[in-house]
Amino acid sequence: MKHFPVSESNAPLRASDGSTAPGAPGWTADIDNPYLHGIYAPSGAQFERARLDVVEGEIPEDLYGMYVRNGPNPVFKPRFKHHPFDGDGMLYAVYFENGCAHYSNRHIETKAFLAEAKNKASIWPGVMGPFDFDLPDFPIKDTSHTDVMFFNKHLLTLWYNAGIPYRLNAKSLSTTGREDLSGQLRRAMSAHSKVDPANGELVFFDYFDTPPYMRYGIADSQGNVIHDQAIKLPGPRLPHDIGVTPNYVVLHDLPFYHDVALLEKTGKRVMTFHRDVPARFGVQPRYGKGDEVRWFECEPCYILHVINCWEEGDWLVQVGCRSTNPMPKANPEDGELSHMLAYMRLEANLYLWKFNLKTGEVIERDIDTLNAEFPRSNPLYMGYKSQFCYSQYICTRQDDGIGTLAFGALLKYNIETGEYQRFDYGEGVYGNEAPFCPKPGATRAQPEDDGYLVTTVTDSKDWQSYTLIFDAKNIVRGPICKLRMPHRAPFGFHTNWVAGEDVFS
Ligand SMILES: [Fe+2]
């Protein structure tokens, strides 16, 4: 995979006096881990409906709704080694209404967050362990910090490791409780479970360390479970996403997994990429039974994010970001942090899989080779053939001397041709995932790219964060509006757009 660095500023992770980025709690200064400093440093600041000032351009009048991003923002000094996938979940929201923008951010009040707030110190270990099986719920902290979506009149936050879903009020960002799907959720739910915009159904999945290793289900728009199936896998897996079409679901069994015996013996989950084991994709009718899964074998790979799936005659098409090297080689010079730093050097490219439901044939190929991830697309096209996605160029920071994960540019891909438009955020400026924001009342009758993209960026030269709005039809000309944020908003994970009628009514 060829890299194309876009940012080479000299901005340090720490200022010359040794201080970390503004707003970070004091304990971060004592820990030599790049993912606790600079653009990744937690921020202790919280805002409630702070009006954002326009620096450039204008807020479109028809941008009506809420941009929301989830991400890690640890409160207390970690008990053990810190991993960038650790940290208490925080939502960062920008509300757009009548040409104005307001900003709020607030922690997700998970069970662990509340217990640690009471304890005034960390209780749970993080993903690097050691796992503590005596703790309630999970042996590491369920942060709910990975994904966020709008379901059944609430925001829903989810953890990548399959945790307890939490419900939050979209306007206030206050946590209103656990989402147990009317008492019918058997265990937990993974990030990248999906809400179908066509009918409001929540298509969800869960995975765990004991047989059958995976469950798949559907809740109706009122939160009642209407489908729930066990999916038998050969062993514990770490699927990160699923594909959903009107009639099918695509489940992932990928050869990047851990050894259960080793976890029990050492308390550590050691991931291994099994390069000789095929990637398997399980296609089953959306409301089918677990034994109706039809598995298609493909070249070994790992996948974080599916962009879209759709039905095309006898074929089921899946487009996503594929990694053939989820375990980049560690650099011994990085010391004991080397493996974590290596894992975070994400390498993935735009890829197509086609599964013939009649003959069993598989077609797979690169669409493009650029290192790009965290894709978003027009949500109205979920399950229907689509042409565009909006991804982040993985730049692997050149300015910190370590190569931490960062997003250097916004890409608009034509997924039919692999051609793309590109907007570089600028020297030392790093972005976040950019959800597509349909215009009010939009349907698939309008052009697919008739809408906006919203993201947040942080300039590592002065730690100022901005909200950027792009016209999705043309990102090359840059943001049509740039808004100054009231603090440095830390680098985060997944985002969503919630329509104004769902937020404000
Ligand atoms: Fe993800």
393-416 tens-digit pLDDT: 998 765 556 678 899 999 999 999
331 half-sphere exposure, CB direction, 13 A CA radius:
10
Report pLDDT digits (tens) over 164-216: 999 999 999 999 999 999 999 999 999 999 999 999 999 999 999 999 999 99
Give domain status of residue 211, yes or no.
yes
What spacing in Å lies between the alpha carbon of 449 and ligand 1's midpoint?
Answer: 23
15 falls within a domain: no
365-403 pLDDT tens trace: 999 999 999 999 999 999 999 999 999 999 876 555 667
378 and 388 Cβ atoms separated by less than 8 Å: yes
The rounded percent of the chain whose pLDDT value lies above 90 is: 77
Task: Give the Å distance between the CA of 252 and the centre of ligand 1.
Answer: 14
Residue 339 pLDDT > 80: no
Rounded to the nearest 10°, the torsion over CA 291, 294, 295, 298 is -170
What integer pLDDT is reported at residue 150 of this predicted model?
Answer: 98
Give percent of the chain with pLDDT exceeding 70.
93
At 301, the amino acid letter reads C
CA dihedral 85, 89, 90, 96 (to 10 degrees): 90
Token pair of 328 as six digits: 């980049």
Rounded to the nearest angstrom, the distance between the alpha carbon of 443 and the centre of ligand 1 is 26
CA of 192 to the centre of ligand 1 (A): 7
* CATH at 357: 2.130.10.10
CA of 19 to the centre of ligand 1 (A): 31
Q: 159, 494 in Cβ contact below 8 A? A: no
What pLDDT sits at residue 241?
A: 98
Q: Residue 181: its pLDDT value, please?
A: 97
Q: What is the DSSP string of 75-116?
A: -S--SS---TT-S-EEEEEEEEETTEEEEEEEE---HHHHHH
Do 394 and 346 form a contact (C-beta atoms < 8 A)? yes
**Mean pLDDT, residues 38-50:** 93
d(CA 7, CA 430): 9
SS3 content of the chain, % helix, strand, coil (to 5): 10, 40, 50
Are 354 and 367 in contact by the 8 Å Cβ rule? The answer is no
Task: For residue 131, name the pLDDT band (cuts at 50, 70, 90).
Answer: confident
In a domain, 21, yes or no: no
- 343: which 2 tokens? 């894992």
Radius of gyration of the chain from its Cα atoms, rounded to whole angstroms: 21
Q: Which of these, 75, 135, 81, lies nearest to 268 by C-alpha position?
A: 81
pLDDT of residue 128: 84
> What spacing in Å lies between the alpha carbon of 495 and ligand 1's midpoint?
10
At 505, the pLDDT band (50, 70, 90 cuts) reads: confident
CB atoms within 10 A of CB 451: 24
Between the CA of 375 and the centroid of ligand 1 the distance, in Å, is 10
Give kind and range of the element (H or E) at residue 253. strand 248-253
Q: How far apart are CA 501 and CA 485, in angstroms?
A: 24
What pLDDT does residue 78 have? 95
Q: How many domains does the chain have?
A: 1
Residue 482 lies in a domain: yes
* Of 389, 319, 307, nearest in space to 352 by CA: 319
CB 289 within 8 A of CB 249: no
Side chain identity at residue 10, one-letter code? N
Cα(494) to centroid(ligand 1), Å: 7
CA distance 95 to 48: 11
Phi and psi for 388 in degrees, rounded to 5? -125, 150
Element counts in the chain: helices (H) and strands (E): 4, 33
What pLDDT sits at residue 126?
Answer: 92
Measure 61 CA to ligand 1 centroid, in angstroms: 31
**Cα 190 to ligand 1 centre (Å):** 10
Residue 496 domain flag: yes
| Cα(240) to centroid(ligand 1), Å | 6
Is pLDDT at 8 greater than 60 in this prediction? no
Helices (H), 102-187: 111-119
Per-residue pLDDT at 14 exceeds 60:
no
Distance between Cα 493 and ligand 1 center (Å): 7
The SS3 call for residue 138 is coil
Query: Residue 9 domain-assigned?
Result: no
